[in-house]
Amino acid sequence: MNDLLQQFRQASRQYSDASIFMHEAIARKAGLAGSDHKYLGLILQHKELTAGELSKSTGLTSGAVTGLIDRLEKKKLLKRKFTKDDRRKVIIVPNEENAMKLLQPLFVELQQKTTALIASFSPSEMEAIKRYFSEATVIMKEVTGSMNSKSND
């Protein structure tokens, strides 16, 4: 069992590394900085969100969020809205049409190949894999939150 655990950890590390390198390549191909397209993906999950909410959910400083918004707005992937009550409060509104036009073609091959891979698993194998990813995501968010709160102390 210990050997299997080591193999699992090694495969997980390799997956993580390959994922980072692939997403950096996608960002470069899309003309975006490093992880900007991942932040854009997060923004696209919302109709709108405040810069403060984005900062809180990502752990980015307000300055880093401002830079991110500047870069994505320049590429017409989102726009800023200001509230009438408080002009300092920035609301981020994603431009889903422009984002999809930019990113979708870059994911076609990946989606085709991963769909074929997923189809090769039994329903119980898919359930186990889904459970792993879901629970590992919770753990990573907890650890990230802990690191972010410690760095803000």
Res. 91 pLDDT band, cuts 50 70 90: very high
Give residue for tokens 């891979």: 117
Strand 78-82 versus strand 49-50 pairing type: unpaired
Amino acid in position 36? D
- For the residues 102-113, what does the mean pLDDT come to? 94
The verdict on residue 129 lying in a domain is no
User: What CATH number is attached to the domain comprising 7?
Assistant: 1.10.10.10
The verdict on residue 6 lying in a domain is yes
Q: In sequence order, what are the beta bridge partners of 94?
A: 78
Q: Is 37 exposed, middle or buried (0-12, 13-18, 19+ CB in 10 A)?
A: buried
- The per-residue pLDDT for 88 is 76
Give residue-wise pLDDT tens across range 27-83: 999 999 878 989 999 999 999 999 999 998 888 998 999 999 999 999 999 999 888
Number of domain units in the chain: 1
The verdict on residue 148 lying in a domain is no
The verdict on residue 33 lying in a domain is yes
Domain residues for the domain of 53 are 2-120
